[in-house]
Amino acid sequence: MLVVWVSVANLGFIEPQNADQQPIASNPTLKLRHMVEPAYPEEAKENGIGGTVVVEVLIDKQGVPQAIHAVRGNPILTTTAFKAVQQWRWKPYRLNRVPVAVEMTIAMNFEP
């Protein structure tokens, strides 16, 4: 059985390094437009592997994930989590009515 839960941690605003860059915002209430559930890997099923995968993701101004980084989790499960999150799409986040990139942490729990 696959149980996936997603929690979003507020990472706060990341100030730009120079005046030419846009700030990167964080918002725990981003609206997910499209979500693909991760496929439970056969190897994990056969070996009773489960657990939590935590990834950090940078979502661009259009709501598309651009960078995904594993914080923790079994590599077998992390791979499938990455593949799923790459397909997710969010409603663009706006800061003062201007679309900005957002950083968030996503946790997925896989139960065998």
* Digit-coded pLDDT (tens) for 43-65: 998 999 999 999 989 888 899 99
Indicate whether this model's pTM tops 0.85: no
16-26 confidence digits (pLDDT tens): 444 555 555 54
Q: Say which residue, 69 or 10, is predicted with more confidence.
A: 69
**Domains of the chain from N-terminus onward:** 8-15+25-110 (3.30.2420.10)
Q: What is the pLDDT of residue 22?
A: 55
For residues 71 and 65, is the Cβ–Cβ distance under 8 A?
A: no
Q: Say which residue, 20 or 100, is predicted with more confidence.
A: 100
Angle, CA 6 vertex, CA 92 and CA 72 arms, to 5°: 105
- Rounded Cα distance, 45 and 29, in Å: 32
